Amino acid sequence: MHGPQLLWLPYRRLCGTMCSAIVRGLCTLDTPPKAIFVSPRNAQKSAALASEFEIVTVAADNQSVVDNSQVVFIGVLPQHTEETCKALSFSASQTVVSVVSTAPLAGLQQWCAPVLPSEIVRAIPLPPVAQHAGSCVITPKHRLAEAVFEKLGTAVAVDTEAEFKRMMPMTCLMGQIYAQQSAATNWLIEQGIDGAAAAKWVGAVYHTVTHDAKAAGSQGADGFQELVAEQTPGGLNEQVIREMREGGAQLLIETALDGCLARIEGVERPAKRVKSQL
């Protein structure tokens, strides 16, 4: 991040976690923004960030931070997005990045006028952006937004909002992976392993395999198949793959993702997937 980029991250109560993570990630870059202005709406989080980082300033109100910003990040509860944006006066020279999961581009373009439509971006980042290890999907493709989130981890940009919506369900797998880790930890405890050791080991193993997964993902769709194919035939890893596949684990994931996408798109949920009889 070079130059005097000014960033605004508005807060509403119970909606500051993601914005705080973005601020923390930006402030700890080798070359951070010149200044970051945050809204006072969540006083405790804003004050904590300003106390920790010299470049963070808590503005008097939302309009004050917009007036001092070149790049505006919007992170409010979905039901408050229109109200918050319409109450502000934007400039045609600004860029707006919305991290509100459900706010449509068409609405943002209307509420944030006179900002140019090409300068209004939707983004769904994940909290590890605070440690420069987050992932973020973006639409439409936007050089500055992509550069920011690449600095904070990995950014994947798509051309259309329809593609963006189809990408969003991947973020819904986060809780399921944590639940799987919890189940694995409990299984170890059942085997007589100390709880602290069990949790540390499970977390370390998952962290290791996700490291390989990031590299595989950069190789295209075949990268993951290559990792699967690497498992020794007849070995323990291959056994787990086979037994979970036979138990319908893959179908359950695909069915859950079908349901998430239907909810995001506001359409009727499709029938649950079933095993082929062929």
Nearest-Å Rg of the Cα atoms of the chain is 21
Residue 122: beta bridge partners? 98, 139
Q: How far is CA 173 from CA 48, 227, 256, in A?
A: 31, 20, 9
> Is pLDDT at 4 greater than 50 in this prediction?
no
Q: What is the pLDDT of residues 18-77, one digit of tens each?
A: 888 999 999 999 999 999 999 887 788 889 999 999 999 999 999 998 999 999 999 988
> Is pLDDT at 15 greater than 70 in this prediction?
no
Instruction: Report whether 63 contacts 91 (CB < 8 A).
Output: no
Q: What is the pLDDT of residues 244-274, one digit of tens each?
A: 999 999 999 999 999 999 999 999 999 999 8
pLDDT of 16 reads 62
pLDDT of 73 reads 93
> Which domains can be identified in the chain, with CATH numbers?
6-159 (3.40.50.720), 171-265 (1.10.3730)
pLDDT of 223 reads 83
Stretch among 5-9, 80-84, 185-189, 192-196 having the lowest mean pLDDT? 5-9
* Higher per-residue confidence, 179 vs 276: 179
pLDDT of 274 reads 86
Q: Sorting pLDDT into bands at 50, 70 and 90, what band is 275?
A: confident
> Is pLDDT at 9 greater than 80 in this prediction?
no
> Is pLDDT at 78 greater than 60 in this prediction?
yes
> What integer is the mean pLDDT of 88-104?
95
Task: Strands of 28-166 (E only): list them.
Answer: 35-38, 56-58, 71-74, 95-98, 120-125, 134-139, 153-157
pLDDT of 12 reads 38
CA distance 138 to 124: 7
pLDDT of 8 reads 57
> What share of residues in the chain are helix, strand, coil (percent, to 5)?
55, 15, 35
Residue in 9, 12, 8, 165 with CA at minimum distance from that of residue 80: 12
Q: How far is CA 203 from CA 179, 180, 233, in A?
A: 12, 11, 26
Beta strands at 71-74 and 95-98: parallel, antiparallel or unpaired:
parallel
pLDDT of 187 reads 97
> Is pLDDT at 104 greater than 80 in this prediction?
yes
Q: What is the pLDDT of residues 134-144, one digit of tens each?
A: 999 999 999 99
Stretch among 105-109, 121-125, 210-214, 249-253 having the lowest mean pLDDT? 210-214
Residue 72: beta bridge partners? 8, 96
* Higher per-residue confidence, 229 vs 275: 229
Residues 6+ apart with CB under 8 A from 185: 195, 198, 199, 202
pLDDT of 170 reads 94
CA distance 268 to 278: 28
pLDDT of 2 reads 45
CA 22-25-28 angle, to 5 degrees, is: 150
> Is pLDDT at 150 greater than 80 in this prediction?
yes
Q: What is the pLDDT of residues 169-209, one digit of tens each?
A: 999 999 999 999 999 999 999 999 999 999 999 999 999 88
